[in-house]
Chains A and B, each alone.
Chain A
Amino acid sequence: MSLNETGEFVLPLPRPAAEQQDGLTGEDLARSRDRARVLAARARSSRWFLLWLLVGPGILAMLGENDGPSMISYAATGAAFGLGFFLPFIVVTFAMAIVCQEMCMRVGAVTHRGYGQLIIERYGKVWGWLAAGDLVFTNLVTLIAEFVAIRVGLAFFHLGAGVAALLGVVLVLLAQSGGRYWRWERVVLGLAVFNGLFLLSAVLVKPNTGHLTHAFLTFSPLPRGSFNEILLLLASTIGATVTPWMIFFQQSASADKGLTPNDLTQGRLDTVIGGVLAAVFGCGALVAGAALAGHGGASVDGLAGAGFPEALSRVDGGTAGALFALGLIEAGAVAILTISASTGYAIGECTGASSSFNRPLRDAASFYFVNVLVAVIAAAVILVPGVPLLSIALNANVLATVLLPVTLVFMVMLANDRQLMGRFANGPATNLAVAITVAVVAVCGAAYGIDSFLLQVHLIG
């Protein structure tokens, strides 16, 4: 075998008839080509090239979750409370996300199966379909919020909702047209790099480094405001870092990519790199939003109409606003690709249909169809006039937080299943960290849900 200039193995591919005879499918061949490159890199001890080949699912899950609603949520938090408690809190939530996502990667690499398939096989169809139902529902709401984010970003450049809807759907169609997981992953990774625009935007608003250092070291000043507003921002900040779709996505993508137990070190690095980048860029969005704290942007809802990019451009003269707008377009686009993929994986795994980017369209029509369908439905919603943009974006994250505990508990059960995982099962330290995460997520989500309801029905003032 030989490598061409792009690092791909040059191999003549077989006719479909031949593959049928041998029992080796096109998906197997595509994955085996990727694995052959990994094995060759490992044999040559090319550490960096090996890491380059194996990174992907972790970075995509983390940067995919630095999505439109998350960045709007961080910026809203910065605008409402300035630099303080929430800045280091973002770092803490990404530390929780790394613990959870490492489990997903490990389970996917050891079992070679996605989350939905494992739940159905180990715990039955009822739990599998409930998990998939939660995922499809929260994904649809989140996808609407992603299109909202693209719409807000494009509005800065005087482009309308129709362009946002078209852009999102065309991206989904283009990204999955390669018929290979590797190509899909690299296209989305290429787009995800631009999440760094939020950091540039933060640099341009010239934050006070003394305030930044003080916030990171002391978790203060503590937020002041109504209890319900703080709960909303706590829940949406958590929902901006750990969500059900990330769990489905990273496990399924790790299996689709072909990770094995030999790749766990690189898989962990992939997850940590993704978590660190996402935390830095997320903090960037909060810092940029904090520039509005003294410019009449203190109310979370007050910025819904003008949008953050326009408000930011009034602070620094235009560039920070433009970068923030481009960042929102990128964040929405990457999340549309990863979230629609997680929906396709989940439905395919629960129905038993083929669900792999390594399959051509004719062999996995339902997988590709679901990918496009959820994007089209979400795109259609944002074309409805008068949609409450910021409210949808913040509540999408809260809903994900509320539904997360069940998904996480099953993830922990799978990762502790010694029949499945053998010596790769969770250790006590991981279980303790995940237990704390589940408790924090459940308490924040429930507290916001109950408090908001009681306020709404005037049982508390």
Chain B
Amino acid sequence: MHDDVANESRFQERIDSGEKIEPRDWMPERFRHQLIRMISQHAHSEIVGMLPEGNWITRAPSLRRKMALLAKVQDEAGHGLYLYSAAETLGVSREDLIDQLLDGSAKYSSIFNYPTLTWADVGVIGWLVDGAAIVNQTMLAKSSYGPYARANLRICKEENFHKKQGFEIVATLAAGTTEQRSMVQDAVDRWWWPSLMMFGPHDNDSPNTAELMRWGVKRRSNDDLRQHFVNITIPQAKAVGITIPDPELRYNEESGDWEFGAIDWDEFYRVIKGNGPCNAERMKARRSAHDDGRWVREAAAAYASRDTVAAEE
């Protein structure tokens, strides 16, 4: 017990002085637990996040868009994979984490429980959803846990093109035919508020934030990150003539912030609890991929053990 207190204060000192915590270093059990929860949620979000955009790969309207979208969704798989690996350094297996996703005990970002209704959604997701994710991941690249920070650093480097390809689609549609313009505005109308919700509840209502910040896992609060996102996004919307669906949006000269209206937290909690438009479909898609792929994984394992048997003989 005495050791734990000493270890914990030494641990906090290391974090406060900006050191990275590595897998074999001493860490409080709760730190380990919280990191596993957070990193696996992040990983699940990448994997489930493949589905809404993946929905449009087969319908992308030009060869260039088709390749860019496929490469982008493929990146999400890669990012999920980096993150599962980061979680695995904490002593859990990817298979256990995936089982938790599939049995519904693990969460993923609620944004992916909204449907992609038109091609414009692909552009708007790249612009807003990836834009919000990049704000978050840029912070996480400085996280105190080494493997998580490194995974986020790699992700940020690769995601640079995601937001840009999204914004290019938005800009192209916004300058297109009447139908295309209304398609892209409609997509922004649908994705704007869920994008703001991606940063999580207000700081006062976020039970984990204070602890995660004290441990240096997070460096900025939810509200702080959300405000930063709004501040960088509004000028981009204006540049291409997109209207942000918030009548209360106004610029505060003093603070330099774009102040925005109230977020519908009822909707946020409703979707988290499983009642978003696509929760059931997303889980069904992941479960069928998993179940349909079981015989393939078994075949690979059987082949590998056959190799081992042959080598030992």
Q: Do A and B come from one complex?
A: no
- Tell me the A residues contacting B by CB distance below 8 Å: none
- Residues of B at the A interface (CB closer than 8 Å) are none
